[in-house]
Amino acid sequence: MNDLHRFPYEIVPAPTVPTSVTGSPDIIDLPSPDLGDGASLMVALARRRTTREFSQASLSPQQLGDLL
């Protein structure tokens, strides 16, 4: 027999969502993000883009194996 020990565990209940007196989840109206006043993070998030370039060359079996 090996030295593997079994540890007891308990199923953890799912976290509860805070609710109001009526029993429905609380809704908080948030303002729109401020994109001015030097908020560089908000501006960067609003302007983010993705670009991709594809080659006509096939991957070698080694490159494909490395990626997978």
Classified as helix, coil or strand, 19 is strand
Structure confidence by residue, pLDDT tens digits, 20-39: 666 677 788 888 877 666 66
Nearest 5°: the CA angle 17, 20, 24 is 70
pLDDT of residue 58: 92
Query: How far, in Å, CA of 28 to CA of 24, rounded?
Result: 12
Per the prediction, the chain carries an average pLDDT of 78
Single pTM value for the model:
0.26
